[in-house]
Chain A
Amino acid sequence: MSNFIPGQPLVAVVQRIEIKKLRQGDNLILGFSIGGGIDQDPGQNPFSDDKADKGIYVTRITPGGPAETADLRMGDKIMQVNGYDMTMMTHDQARKRLTKKNEDIVRLLVTRKSLEEAVKNSMGGYQRQ
C-alpha cells in the first residue's frame, strides 16, 4: 500500500468490486468481515504494510458468499464504498456504510498489495527501457 500520510492526497492502484447483497432472512449480508478504523489500534492490523494505517481492511471472507463471488480478497483495503471515502472512518461508521438497508449493491474500490506489485512490475519493465 502506498505510504499513507494523513492530510495528504493518497495515490493508490484500486480495483473496482461490485457486490450484490444477499438476503438472509431479515438481513442483507455481504459476506465478509472488516477490521480497522480511525478509532482502532492500527498496530493490530496483520494486513497493512504501514502499521500506522488506520484504514478499513477485509479480514475474512465467508466462503461462497457474495463477497467471494465478487472477487474480494482477505487483506484488501477498502478505499471507497458507493462513492464514500473509507480511509478516514471509525470502525462503526464503516460498518454502517456497508450495511445500509436501502442499498442492494455496494460498489467498492479496494486496493491490495498484489495490484501494486503488478503495476510496479509492468511499469518497471517500461522504465528499464
Chain B
Amino acid sequence: MPVDKFANMEEKLWILEDLNMMYIRQIALSLQDSDIQKKIDHEIRMRDGACKLLAACSQKDQALEASKSLQTCSTRIMAYMTELQRMKEAQIMQKVTRRSSDAGPMDDRHPCKGKVAISDLRIPLMWKDTEYFKNKGELHRCAVFCLVQLGGEIFDTDMVIVDRTLTDICFDNTIVFSEANPGFEMRVELYSCCSEDDYSAGSTPRKLASKLSSSLGRSAGKKFRSAMEPGPCSPVGNGGATPLLLPVPSVPGPKYHLLAHTTMSLSHIQDSFRTHDLTISGNEECSYWLPLYGSMCCRFAAQPHCMTRQMMSGCLKVKQLGGEPQSWTKVYGVLKGTSLFCYHRQEDVEANVEPAFTIAINKETRIRASEKDPQSKVQNICISNQYGGEEVTHTLTSDSREDTRRWMEAFWQHFYDMSQWKQCCDDLMKIELPSPRKPTPVTPKQGSLYHEMVIESSDDLSTVSDILARRMQELELRSQLGTSPNWMSLFEENNPKSAGRPRPCTSRFSGHSPCTPHRPPRSPASPHRCPQLSLLSSDASLTSDSDSHCSTSPCSHRHAWPEPSSNFPLLSSSPSRLRPRTFSLDAKLSTLRGRGFRGGGTFQCSCQPPTSSLLAPLPVSSRSPRSQRSTQTTLSCSSSTSSNSSSNSEGRHSPESSEGAPFSRPSPARRSLRNLRARLDPRNWLQSQV
C-alpha cells in the first residue's frame, strides 16, 4: 500500500540521518578536534529546532525564515563534514609520510591569512514587460536569500521577498570571513522559494488544486502545477547540485531551491564594486524561478593580515644616509603593510606618535644582506627603493646575528605574502564591520499601493494624488524606519514650506504617466546605503504635505514646526487622517496646533522633548558616505534648529523671522526658494556632493 511504503521510506530516511549524525560525531571524536565537534553539535541542535519551528508555525513569513535556517544549518553541517573528512585524510596522510620518509626540512612557506569581506550584494532582475504590466492573478513572489561559503564557514544573508515591483535583489549584509587563505574559493549561492500568497502548495487538496490551476491564467497555472508536482526542477531535498549525503528532513513547508551560484577567488577582489557572472540553475517552468539578468554586483574586498597586523617588530640600527659613514641611529622598527615604520622609541608605537621615518616595503623593493661588518660580525640588511628615478638605499643592522636572521626571514615572509595576496597588498582596502544586528524593520505588505488607500472626501485629482504620495511615503518611511538615514533630517524642513501654498505638484502629477506609481527605477550601484529610499518615489512628488510628515516620520516631525503658520491651512483641512501607528504624534500635532493659535512664537524648543524619545531608536548609520548625507547626528534636539539653518546652505533665513505674523503667507521670494528646496528633496531626486 502506497501509504505504508511512504511511511517506510520516511523511517528509513530518519534512520539514515541518525546514522549520519553518529558517523559525524565519531569522526569528530576520533580527530579530537573539539572545536568542530562543538560546531557540529550546535548546528544539529539548530537544525532540529528549525524543523520543529517549521512544523509548528502557521504564518507564511515565519515558515520561510524557519526553512531558510534549516537550509543554512544543513549546508553548514555538510561543510563541517567535508572539513572533518579532509582533516581525517590529512591525518592519515601525515602518518603515512612520516613513516615513509624522514621529515625533510618543511621549507614550504605558508602565506598569511586575511580577512575577506563581501558586501552590498545586488542581483539585477530582468522582468519581461508582459510580466510587468500583468494585472491578472496575484503577485508572483519569491523569497530569496544568499549563502556565502568560504573554507568551512557559511554565512547567510537576510531573506528578501522579491516580486515584479523590484528591479534588483539587494542584500544589505556585510559578510566577513576572518581567516582566509589567498587561494580561497568563495561560493555564493542564491536560493529561492516560491511564496504565493494564497496557495501553499503542500496543503491544497489535489482536486481543488487542479481546478484552480486550470482556471488560472496559463503561465500562473503552469507555475502552480509545477509547484504541486515534484517535477525535475523541484526535487525533494537539496537543489540537486550537492550530493545527497545528508537527507534533508521532509518537513512540510516551503522549500528553497538553488537558483544561481557563482564562485569567486582572489582575482575577483577589488576595492570597488564589480559585476560577476552567475550560473543559473532551473528554468522558467520552476515555481522558484526569477528572471535573473545573469550577473551579480557586489563589493568584494580583502585585508590580508600582513597589511593590518605588525608582522615583525624589534630594535634596529639605521645607518644615516650621507653624513658620517659609521653613524647609526637606534630605532624601533615595525613591519606592517607596505612599510617599515621606524619609531624613535618603542613606546611611540602605542602612543601613536608619528614614526621618525618610514621605509617603503612593496613589490618593487629589493632587500639583500650585505657582507659582514668587520667589527660586529653581523650582516647588514640593505633595502632599496625607487623613488622617482632615483634609487634610495637604507642600511639597517641589528644587535645580533639571530636578530638579523629573523628580520630577513620576516622580510621574505612579507614578500611571499604580498606575492600571494597580489592586488590586495597594494593598498589597504576598507572593510566595514557588520554593525550589530538592528531589529528587522517591518516590511510593509508589498501589494499594490491601492490596497491601503482610503479616499475620504473629495475625488479631486490633487487630493487623490496627495493621498497616494502620502501613503507611499508612509510605506517607505515605515519600512526604512530602522535604517533611516540621518541626512533626511537635513531636508525635512523643505516639506512644510510647500504646505502653505496650493499644491504646485499637481501639475507634475498630471504630467506623469499613469502607470504604476510604485515603480522604482534601478538603484545605482553606489556605495550609499540610501539609494532605495531616495528613488522609490520618483513618480510622485513627496513635497505635498507636512501633515503626513509629521505623523509618519519622527525625525521630520521636529522640523515641521519652524513655519507653523504655513502649516495651519493644511492641518485644519485634514483632521480626520489619523493613522493608528502614529497616534501619539497626531496627538502632539493637535496640542501644538492649539498652542500655535495662541501666539506665533518659536515652537522649536517646545516640541523637542516629546520627539527626542522618538528619535532615540533611530540608529546612527555606521557608514560615513561621501555625500551630504553625513553622519552628522542631528538627532540632538537642542541644537536642531540652529543646525537646520546652518546645515541648509542655500542661504535660508532663520525661520523665526517669518513667524511675526502667524497667519500671513510668506513672501513670494522665500516661497520660491522654499519651493526649490522642496523640489530638491533627495528622496525624489538623488544628489551627490562632490
Contact = CB atoms under 8 A, between A and B. Distances in A.
Interface of A: 27, 29-30, 32-37, 39-41, 43-46, 51, 59-63, 74, 90-92, 95, 98-99
A34 B512 contact: no
30 contacts: A29-B690, A30-B690, A33-B627, A33-B628, A33-B688, A34-B687, A34-B688, A35-B680, A35-B685, A35-B687, A37-B524, A37-B686, A41-B521, A41-B538, A41-B685, A43-B511, A43-B512, A44-B679, A44-B685, A45-B685, A46-B676, A51-B511, A59-B687, A60-B650, A60-B689, A63-B649, A91-B526, A92-B526, A92-B688, A99-B626
Nearest to B522: A39
A37 B521 CA distance: 12
Contact of B680 (A30, A40, A46, A95): A46
Contact of A27 (B626, B628, B676, B684): B626
Interface string B522-539: 101110000000010011
A43 B626 CA distance: 25
Contacts of B689: 29, 32-33, 60, 62
Nearest to B650: A60
Given A41-B685, A60-B689, 12 more contacts: A29-B689, A32-B689, A32-B690, A33-B687, A33-B690, A34-B688, A35-B687, A39-B521, A41-B539, A43-B508, A43-B512, A44-B538
Contacts of A92: 524-526, 688
Contacts of A32: 689-690
A90 B521 CA distance: 13
A41 B524 CA distance: 12
A19 to B, nearest CB: 10
A23 B151 CA distance: 43
B679 A46 contact: yes
B205 interface: no
B488 to A, nearest CB: 16
Contacts of A30: 690
Q: How large is the interface on B (under 10, 10 to 19, 20 to 34, 35 or more residues)?
A: 20 to 34
A98 B676 CA distance: 24
B526 A63 contact: no
- Which of B511, B535, B680 has the most CB atoms of chain A within a 10 A radius of its CB? B680
B325 interface: no
Contacts of B626: 27, 99
Interface string B325-363: 000000000000000000000000000000000000000
- Among A33, A36, A45, A51, residue most surrounded by chain B Cβ atoms (within 10 Å): A33
B680 A98 contact: no
A33 B525 CA distance: 19
B651 interface: yes
Interface of B: 508, 511-512, 521-522, 524-526, 535, 538-539, 626-628, 649-651, 676, 679-680, 684-690
A107 B468 CA distance: 43
A90 B689 CA distance: 15
A44 B684 contact: yes
Contacts, number: 80
A45 B682 CA distance: 11
A63 to B, nearest CB: 6
B688 A60 contact: no
Given A46-B679, A51-B511, A95 B690 contact: yes
A41 to B, nearest CB: 4
B521 A40 contact: yes
Contacts of B538: 40-41, 43-44
A99 B690 contact: yes
Contacts of B649: 60-63
A40 B686 contact: yes
Contacts of A51: 511
Given A40-B521, A51-B511, A59 B680 contact: yes
B256 to A, nearest CB: 32
A45 B522 CA distance: 18
Contacts of A44: 538, 679, 684-685
Contact of A95 (B539, B651, B688): B688
Contacts of A39: 521-522, 524
A27 B685 CA distance: 25
A60 B687 CA distance: 9
A37 B526 CA distance: 13
B508, B539, B626, B688: residue with the most chain A Cβ atoms closer than 10 Å: B688
Contacts of A98: 690
